[in-house]
Amino acid sequence: MSRPDPITTMKSISISIPAYNEEGAIARVVGDSFKVLSALTDDYEVVVIDDGSTDSTAKILRELSAHQPGLRIYRHDKNMGIGPTLKDVVSRPTKEWVFFIPGDGQIPAAEIHKLLPWTANYDYIIGRRIARKDNAVRRMNAWIYNMVISFMGLKRVFDVDSVVLFRREILKNIRFKSRGAFIHAEIFLSVLKGGGKTVEVSIEHLPRTGGGATGNKIAVVLKAAADIILYLLS
């Protein structure tokens, strides 16, 4: 497949970041995002959705915004969870392409370079974490979950909950229902249903250095299962 120089195909791009109690990483993640984007295009922004952090995340973001006019911050008054937060992550950016990465720094902003060459032929490019820095139980749960989503979408997907580089236009008029972890899959399934082209590309996954993972909590798993049932019945 022919892959053009991505810089010549990028008109504008956003990096969108969900963050909850990421005081140890958020400054580095935002700084790296600006560094990466400034080398790609003159038309860019960094969007951070602070999901009601109770640590110093909000203070750090305010300080960063004083020196970075391209930083846009949206803060939830209280912790809303992954569903509402990811809806903001995909709807708040204003540029042609959106790359969303976590605020914990486990997936560096520079990984976008591995996804950019695919933008000429695909609308929704998933960064597949080949060597995931998660425990065995979490990896097994992810394998089962991805098999279920693959069956629902009639397309094999290996890492539906990972970061994505997507063309903003393909999600513009979609109204997502999930308020839990199923939101990642709902977005992916909606893209497929709308005729969007998807692909997975291998990326790096670093160990967590701060914050706390929630994906293995029983309440999160049960909520995702309930959302799958509701999606199939809708």
Domain positions in the chain = 11-233
C-alpha to C-alpha distances, 115 to 60, 83, 100, 160, 231, nearest whole angstrom: 29, 24, 12, 15, 29
With a CB cutoff of 8 Å and minimum separation 6, the contacts of 27 are 60, 64
Residue 179 has a pLDDT of 83
Residue numbers of the chain with a pLDDT score lower than 70: 1-9, 133-134, 208-217, 220
* pLDDT value of position 130: 84
pTM of the model: 0.88
The DSSP bridge pattern shows strands 164-167 and 198-203 to be unpaired
DSSP state of 182: T
pLDDT for res 136: 82
pLDDT of the residue at 37: 96
Which pLDDT value is given to residue 26?
98
Residue 16 bridge partners (DSSP): 47, 100
- pLDDT score recorded for residue 217: 63
Note the pLDDT of residue 8: 47
Q: Which two tokens stand for residue 95?
A: 């540029």
Q: What is the pLDDT of residue 180?
A: 85
Class of domain 11-233: alpha beta
CA distances to 58, 106, 117, 125 from 203, rounded to whole Å, are 29, 11, 13, 11
Residue 98: half-sphere exposure toward Cβ, Cα within 13 Å: 23
In order, the DSSP letters of 11-59 are S-EEEEEEESS-TTTHHHHHHHHHHHHHTT-SSEEEEEEE---SSSHHH
Q: Longest C-alpha distance within the chain, in Å?
A: 48
